[in-house]
Amino acid sequence: MKVLWLFAHPDQRSLSGALMTEGLRTLDAHGHQHRVSDLYAMKWNPVLDAADYAHDPAHRLHVGEASQRAYTEGHLAPDIRAEQEKLTWADTLIVQFPLWWYGMPAILKGWFDRVFVKGFAFGLTDPATGRPLRYGDGKLTGKRALVVTTAGARAATLGPRGVNGDLNDLLFPLQHGTLWYTGMSVAPPLLIPAADRTTPTAYATAATRLRERLRTLPTTDPLPFRHQNGGDYDDDLLLHPDLPQPSPPPTGPAAHYTAPPPPVHL
Amino acid sequence: MKVLWLFAHPDQRSLSGALMTEGLRTLDAHGHQHRVSDLYAMKWNPVLDAADYAHDPAHRLHVGEASQRAYTEGHLAPDIRAEQEKLTWADTLIVQFPLWWYGMPAILKGWFDRVFVKGFAFGLTDPATGRPLRYGDGKLTGKRALVVTTAGARAATLGPRGVNGDLNDLLFPLQHGTLWYTGMSVAPPLLIPAADRTTPTAYATAATRLRERLRTLPTTDPLPFRHQNGGDYDDDLLLHPDLPQPSPPPTGPAAHYTAPPPPVHL
């Protein structure tokens, strides 16, 4: 594998840092190549703004248009281009972070905000139908991704019946809406729970689990997300009426309401 | 109402900016007070690090401990304290942002990462049981919140059957895991779809919907999330086996898998 390891913790002496070191050593031992984007160490700027696109501030900024044009014309900020070059090189993206407020630290969210511009990470269309290629087919198809996250919560509270919600549901915007959207296949995430009270025994267990996940990553089945153009969605991009089959179990976000929430006003 | 309006778009001349102006005017017209945190205009720093807590970099940073101590001892960075003071003043928080990669722009995620420290936003315990008060009961109980988000996607694709997932599920980490976690009641979100091709007619519709939501906000029923200590969760914080009743419909993230994903290894 050619692995880009994205890392977002402010202190390399942390549990997260120790696990990254362990993980990189494991990749070496199996003959894989790796590059690292340690966002805090790089002082990565996570704030998307007009300067990313050499955009004239006298004119209103349309983010989508300006970013696509800057990508096409080669005017993207150098720090963004450097990250795109790393991801282009890689066939595997590992995204490691402490779970803060049930999501990515801001410095990491801003990596996706700034690096994943139209043209680079998405924007292909099906030549036969003219429809956009997204969710399973896209610019980054052929690459795999793995989320590794440490959390203060106990494991079961991030499971299907836990008060915090199921981890796959919490990661849905990242795993489905970002990684799968751009065409990457997404391995099941690795959760290291109870991270703020890690004993030596718990650390040994976590390190063993990480090594095992990295060892088996090339042959791990990805999360079975539906392809946008795989026949499961209609022309309006809604699930066909007879899907899903079989019905899902009563878990996920809906389980945390005392009654069905009112539908979002569309 | 005393409203804190959190705003996260890089250009005030955008659709988002026009809607904020419309919203603030509406609040004025109804005799409500407001303060604004326009994060881009403030050049808000979203990157949590040791400097926030006057933490000695010679020692390993434990974020939870260091942030709580800095809050208790009055050493939090001044920009964090200023935001905490605004939220303390407010009884209502409006969180407005363009939906980027199905979540908040990094500059906004970092507002929660840095401002919502233990002691300020959570950390109460039930004096009778010693159990933490979270999810519906907490430091920010009594305040209400409303998410207002603009999205490029068409509305139906963010609905219960849409390819992008239901908006309430995408916002679960923010609405449930952050706002409800700290005790705030959360009004149903306002979605302004197809935001990158807004016609004058579409803008008028969006502005009308925003005005109406603000006018009725004081009496709007919040999302019916379960209280952590309301009897629906057991001592391990798992849903009681007979919940939820009635079963939820087959929507939400689970609907986007071709088969049930393997459970997260716990």
Angle at B164 between CA A173 and CA B162, to 5 degrees: 145
Q: Considering CB atoms only, which of B62, B101, B255 is closest to A196?
A: B62
Contacts of B178 in chain A (CB under 8 A): 101-102
Q: Considering CB atoms only, which of A106, A233, A248 is closest to B109?
A: A106
* Statement: residue B10 has pLDDT above 90: yes
Supply the pLDDT for residue B166: 87
Rounded distance between C-alpha atoms, residue A176 and residue A39, angstroms = 23
pLDDT in tens, B111-130: 999 999 999 999 999 988 88
Nearest residue on chain A to B110, alpha-carbon basis: A106
pLDDT in tens, B73-126: 999 999 999 999 999 999 999 999 999 999 999 999 999 999 999 999 999 999
Interchain contact, B176 vs A61, CB within 8 Å: no
Interchain contact, B61 vs A228, CB within 8 Å: no
Contacts of A237 in chain B (CB under 8 A): 154, 156-157, 162-164
Interchain contact, A161 vs B239, CB within 8 Å: yes
Task: Say yes or no: A109 contacts chain B, CB-CB below 8 A.
Answer: yes
C-alpha of B18 from chain center: 21
- Who wins on pLDDT, A259 or A242? A242
CA dihedral angle for residue B37, residue B43, residue B44, residue B50, rounded to 10 degrees: -160
Percentage of chain B with pLDDT > 70? 91
pLDDT in tens, A144-168: 999 999 999 999 999 888 889 889 8
Q: Which CATH number fits domain A2-256: 3.30.710.10, 3.40.50.20, 3.40.640.10, 3.40.50.360?
A: 3.40.50.360
Interchain contact, B193 vs A266, CB within 8 Å: yes
Contacts of A100 in chain B (CB under 8 A): 48, 113
Q: Considering CB atoms only, which of A48, A164, A228 is closest to B105?
A: A48
Rounded distance between C-alpha atoms, residue A37 and residue A4, angstroms = 7
* Statement: residue B221 has pLDDT above 50: yes
Interface of A with B in 10-29 (CB under 8 A): 10-11, 13-14
Task: Say yes or no: A54 contacts chain B, CB-CB below 8 A.
Answer: no
Select the residue from A43, A100, A192 to test the B interface by mutation, using most B Cβ atoms within 10 A: A100
Nearest residue on chain A to B57, alpha-carbon basis: A11
* Statement: residue A83 has pLDDT above 70: yes
Supply the pLDDT for residue B57: 87
Amino acid in the structure at residue B42: M
Nearest residue on chain B to A109, alpha-carbon basis: B106
Nearest residue on chain B to A253, alpha-carbon basis: B169
Rounded distance between C-alpha atoms, residue B38 and residue B40, angstroms = 6
Rounded distance between C-alpha atoms, residue A8 and residue A37, angstroms = 9
Interchain contact, A173 vs B177, CB within 8 Å: no
Q: Considering CB atoms only, which of B11, B160, B252 is closest to A252?
A: B252
Task: Find residue B7's DSSP bridge partners.
Answer: B38, B96
Average pLDDT, chain A: 91
Task: Say yes or no: B135 contacts chain A, CB-CB below 8 A.
Answer: yes
Nearest residue on chain B to A115, alpha-carbon basis: B101
Q: Mark A235-264 as b/e (b = at least 16 C-beta within 10 Å).
A: eebbbeeebbeeebebbbbbbbbeeebeeb
* Statement: residue A245 has pLDDT above 90: no
Task: Say yes or no: B98 contacts chain A, CB-CB below 8 A.
Answer: yes
Contacts of A209 in chain B (CB under 8 A): 265
- Cis, peptide link before residue B244, omega less than 30° from 0: yes
Task: Say yes or no: A255 contacts chain B, CB-CB below 8 A.
Answer: yes
Strands (E) across chain B are located at 2-7, 33-38, 92-98, 144-150, 185-186, 190-192
Integer CA distances (angstroms), A45 to A16, A59, B46, in order: 21, 23, 9
- Who wins on pLDDT, A18 or A258? A18
Q: Considering CB atoms only, which of B155, B169, B247 is closest to A172?
A: B169
CA distance A35 to chain B (A): 23
Supply the pLDDT for residue A240: 85
How many other CB atoms sit within 10 Å of the CB of residue B78? 7
Contacts of A233 in chain B (CB under 8 A): 163
Supply the pLDDT for residue B196: 85
Supply the pLDDT for residue B243: 75
Interface of A with B in 151-180 (CB under 8 A): 152, 154-170, 172-174, 176-178
* Statement: residue A214 has pLDDT above 80: yes
DSSP state of B56: -
Contacts of B61 in chain A (CB under 8 A): 10-11, 13-14
Task: Say yes or no: A194 contacts chain B, CB-CB below 8 A.
Answer: no
